[in-house]
Amino acid sequence: MSLVWRDQLSVGNQVIDSDHKNLIEIINKIEQSLAKKDIKNLSIALKDLHRYAQEHFDREEFIAKTAGYARVLHLHESHKKLQEKLDQLMGEIGKMEQNWSSDKAEHIAQFVHDWFINHVIKEDLLMKSVLQQHSYYFDPRT
């Protein structure tokens, strides 16, 4: 059940949309590792997700703040909770070793899908109207 980018996921900013597409790629690697029961690549992909998500969250919060989004503090708190959930999942994986069960693999796949969807749909799309007041290529970092 790989994630696929859809235009409905666009928040109206090229930098953030590009980050979200990269997050989808990483999540799909996690799913592939689960299907192959490849604990080594699963661990690598989860670490990549954790690292890239933090970089993305930092970029996203900066863009939101600069664009004039009023709920940046709420966004920051949401990001913090998402990273904590990801930390918890990584701890579970660390204990899993070679004890694979289809239920556990399904739980992990569902978790990362929900993690991404909740981030984009429940939080990021709330910024769309503010971000659309700027060019799609708005990037205050440059």
CA distance 63 to 79: 14
Whole-prediction pTM = 0.93
What is the number of other CB atoms lying within 10 angstroms of the CB of residue 136? Answer: 12
Instruction: Say which CATH architecture domain 12-131 belongs to.
Output: Up-down Bundle (1.20)
In sequence order, the 6+-apart residues with CB closer than 8 A to the CB of 114 are none
pLDDT band, residue 97 (cuts 50/70/90): low
Domain boundaries, the chain: 12-131
User: 24-77 pLDDT, tens per residue?
Assistant: 999 999 999 999 988 889 889 999 999 999 999 999 999 999 999 999 999 999
* Chain Cα centroid distance, residue 78: 12
